[in-house]
Structure 1
Amino acid sequence: MPPMPSELAYVPFVSVENMMRLVHHHGIEQVLRELTDAVEADYRRWALFEKSPRLASHSREGVIELMPTSDGEVFSFKYVNGHPSNTAKGFQTVAAFGLLARVDTGYPILLAEMTLLTALRTAATSAMVARHLAPRGARVMAMIGNGAQAEFQALAMKSVVGIDTVRLYDIDPQATAKVARNLADSGLTIVSCASTQEAVEGAQIITTCTADKACATILTDNMVGAGIHINAIGGDCPGKTELHQDILKRAATFVEFEPQTRIEGEIQQMDASYPVTEFHQVLDGSAAGRRDARQITLFDSVGFATEDFSALRYIHCKLEGTDFFQKIDMLADPDDPRDLFGMLQRAA
C-alpha cells in the first residue's frame, strides 16, 4: 500500500534527471520488459478502472490533454501536450508530467516527469500488444517516422517480442541518421531506407509514428501484405491519421478504449459500424486475437490513461530504498488540520 498521510508532508518528486538515473540503474531494456508486464497486468484488471475519453483542449498549434483514471484505491492523472511544430522551435513535440494519489485520503504519493516515462510506456504498450498479435517468429520491424519515440519502440520490440532488425524511414534523413546512430550498439541490425515502400519490404511488424497533425496517408493498401501486424501510434487526435482507409477494411482492428479511439484514432475515418476489439478482451479470452498466419492485425493506439497509471505505479515501486527522487513541500500540513490559517500566520 502507499504510505499513510502522516508520512506525506513531503511528496516524492521524480525529476527528469532522476528518471534518467533510475532507467540507467536498471537498464532500459529491463525497464521496458518490466513496464510491459505492468501495463499488461493492469489491462487484465480492466473492469476495475474508471474509464473516459481524455479531456482535450485543441488549438491550431496542437492539443493539451488531461488523462485521469482510478482503480478504486489509487488515482492518477497525466498532463500532456502534442504540438507537432514544436521541434522547429527547439521544443519537444510531447511534454508531460503525472501524479499518483491515494483514493481514501486524496493525498498525492508521487509527482513525476512523464515526457521520458510516456515514451517508455508507449513503447511498452506497443510491445505488449505485439507479443499477442504479431505473427509468430516476427524478426523484422519497419519504423516509419524516426522522431523521439523511434528508439524506444525498437528496443521494446527487441526485448519483448524478439525482433532483430529495424528498417527505418523518415522524410527527414537526419532523423533516420539519428536513430541509426543511437541504436548502433543495441544489438539490432539497422537498415536505413529511402522510402516507406523500401522500409516495409520483408517486415512482419510495421510501426507508424509520424507527428504532423493531418489526415495523412503514410501507408497505402499495396504496401501491406498478408500476415502483417501494424502498430499505428501516430494518429492520436481528431484530424490526424496515418493509414489509408483500404488498409482498415482488410485488417482486424484492436484498440485501447473504443469511445476514445473513435474520436482520435485511425478509425475516425470509418463509420460507427466499423468493428473493433478492445485489447483487454484478447487478454481475458472474450475475443480472439490473431486468427491465422495471413490475417492483418492493426493496433490503433492513441494512448490511454490506464497505461500512465501503470507507469506511475511502476516508478513508485522502484523508488523504495533509492535516492532517485526529491522530497517536495507541496502539501499544507498544519498541526491542527482545522487551523490552516494559524499555520499561515506562524510563518509571518
Structure 2
Amino acid sequence: MKWSMTYILSHDMVTNMIHQIGLKTVYRQLVRQMKLDYMHWHDFHHQSRISAESPNGVIELMPIHNQQHYAFKYVNGHPSNPSRQLPSVCAFGCLSDMDSGIPVLIADMTLLTAIRTAACAAMVYDCIRYPQDTIDIAIIGTGAQSEFQITAMHEMHPIGTCYYYDIDDHAMQKFSDNLSEYPFNLQAINGVADIPSACDVIITATSCLTPSALAIKQSNRRKIIIAIGGDAPNKQELNRTLIENSTVIVEYLAQTKREGEIKSANPKQIITLHELVQSKQTLSNDLIVFDSVGFAIEDYSTLVMCQGWFESLPPHEFFGVLDDPKNLFSQIIQGTP
C-alpha cells in the first residue's frame, strides 16, 4: 500500500510556527492573501455556511472551492462554554486538491480563526480609513477574540488610545494584562456611553442576543463600527436605527442577511467586501458598519497561508492508496501492511 501525503497541523504546530514567524508578520501575510482572494472573488463557488443550532450555541460547516482547491472549516460558537471550562470556539479545517480530491492540509483552526477574523477587520479598515498618524479605538467585549482584534488593527494602523469595556471584570483585567506591553494607551471605560465621540473605530465583540443601545456620538470624521461574529443563534448587537443610518459592508450577502446585523434592518447602502477590496463601490456616508459574520473565503486564505508555512516540512502518511484502488476489500483479507 502507498500513502498520500497530507500535512496535519496540530494546535501546538500552528502555535509554534506563529511564534517563529511573529504575530505581526502573520497578520500582514494573511491580509495580503485575503486581499488576493477577494480580488479573485468570481473564481470561487460561494455558498452560505451550513449550521446546526442548539439552545447553547451553533455548529457550522463553511465550504468553498475554486478550480485548484476545495476547503472547509468546522467551527462552533457556544458563548457559555467557558463556564464549563470549555472554549467558546473551536475549529479545524481542510484544504484539498480539486484535481485528485486528496486532502493536502488538515489543521487545527481554533487560534487561526481568531487571527483571521481580526486580520479581516483590519483589512476592511485599511481599505476605507482616512489618512492620519494614529487612530483611537474602542472595543465592547474583551473575551477570547478581543486582543487579536486590537493587535491586528494596530499592526495595520497605529493605535493612540484603546478604550475597552466588558460586563466581566476578570475579562477586562485579562485584556489589560495581555496588551500592557503594546505602545498605545489603554483606557477602561464603564460602558458604551463612555466611548468618546472622536473614536475612529468601535468593535463589538459580544454574544448579545438583543440589540444594544450603542449610542454613536457624532464627530466630523468617518466612524467605523466592526460587529464581529455570527457565534450564536439570534445574535444582535447593534440597534436598528444605527444600521438604517449606515453604509454596511458584508462578506456574502445571502449569509449576512440570515445571520448578521442587517437581518433586522435595511441599511442606507450595502457594499460587499469584494467590491470594497476591488474599489468598485464608493462609500456614501461616514457612518460605516462592517457586519462581520465570517465567510469561508477567509478560512481558505488562512489554509493557503498555512500550506506555505509547512510545505518545506515532511508531510504525514495519512490516506492509504491501494496498489489496486478498486480492491478496497483486500485490506480486510490481507490486513493493512
CA distance in 1: counterparts of 2:54 and 2:40, whole angstroms: 35
Matched, 1:203 2:191: no
1:164 to 125, 150, 160: 160
| Paired residues, number | 333
Equivalent residue, structure 2, for 1:327: 316
Matching residue's letter, 2:270: V
In structure 2, relative to structure 1, the CA distance for the partners of 1:149 and 1:335 (3 Å cut) is same
- Normalized against structure 2, the TM-score is what? 0.93
Quick one: distance in 2 between partners of 1:65 and 1:200? 36
Give 1:13 deviation, angstroms. 0.8
Q: Helix, strand or coil for the counterpart of 1:217?
A: coil
Give the counterpart of 1:61 among 53, 56, 60.
56
Residue ranges of structure 1 left out of the alignment (5+ in a row): 1-5
| 3-state SS of 1:332 partner | strand
What is the distance in 2 between the residues matched to 1:184 and 1:328?
43
Tell me the distance in 1 between the aligned counterparts of 2:154 and 2:268.
32
| Displacement after TM superposition at 1:194 (Å) | 1.8
Is the CA contact (8 Å cut-off) linking 1:158 and 1:164 kept in structure 2?
A: no
Structure 2 residue 151 is the aligned partner of structure 1 residue 155: yes
1:94 maps to 89
Summarize the Cα distance change of 1:313–1:233 in structure 2 as closer, same or farther, 3 Å threshold: same
Correspondence for 1:112 among 85, 91, 107: 107
- 1:18-167 to 2 correspondences below 5 Å: 18-137=13-132, 138-167=134-163
CA deviation profile, 1:303-337 (whole Å, cap 9, x unmatched): 000000000010011112247xx7252x1211221
User: 1:224: how far off?
Assistant: 5.7
State the match for 1:9 in structure 2: 4
Classify 1:71/1:237 alpha carbon distance in 2 versus 1 (closer, same or farther; 3 Å). Answer: farther
1:40 is paired with a residue whose SS is: helix
List runs of 5+ in structure 2 lacking aligned partners: none
Which SS does the other structure have where 2:325 is aligned?
coil
Identical-pair percentage: 34
- CA gap 1:126/1:224 in 2 versus in 1, 3 angstroms: farther
Separation in 1 of the partners of 2:128 and 2:158?
13
Separation in 1 of the partners of 2:191 and 2:265? Answer: 27
Q: Which of 278, 286, 290 in structure 2 is aligned with 1:284?
A: 278
Deviation of 1:345 after TM superposition, in Å, equals 2.5
Counterpart of 2:211 in structure 1 is 216
CA contact (8 A) 1:66 1:77 kept: yes
Aligned to 2:328: 340
Contact between 2:78 and 2:231, CA under 8 Å: does it hold in 1? no
**Secondary structure at the counterpart of residue 140 of structure 1:** strand
SS at match of 1:202: coil
> Which secondary structure state, in structure 2, belongs to the residue aligned with residue 112 of structure 1?
strand
The TM-score, its normalising length taken from structure 1, stands at: 0.90
> Partner of 1:3 in structure 2?
none
Q: CA RMSD in A?
A: 1.9
Question: Which letter does structure 1 place at the counterpart of 2:77?
Answer: G
Determine the C-alpha separation between the residues in 2 that align with 1:322 and 1:165: 41
Q: State the distance in 2 between where 1:321 and 1:332 align.
A: 22
2:128 and 2:230 mapped to 1: Cα distance? 20
Matched-pair contact (CA < 8 Å) for 2:229–2:294: no
Cα distance change of structure 1 residues 237 and 61 upon mapping to structure 2, 3 Å threshold: closer
C-alpha contact 1:62 1:83 (8 A) present in aligned 2: yes
* Pairwise CA distance, 1:88: 0.9
Aligned to 1:193: 189
Aligned to 1:179: 175
Q: Secondary structure at the match of 1:146?
A: coil
Secondary structure of 1:239's match?
Answer: coil
Q: Which amino acid aligns with 2:91?
A: A
Letter aligned with residue 160 of structure 1? M
Write out per-residue CA displacement over residues 245-299 of structure 1, whole angstroms, 9 at most, x where no aligned residue.
Answer: 111122111100100000000001115x86411111122232114x57xx11111
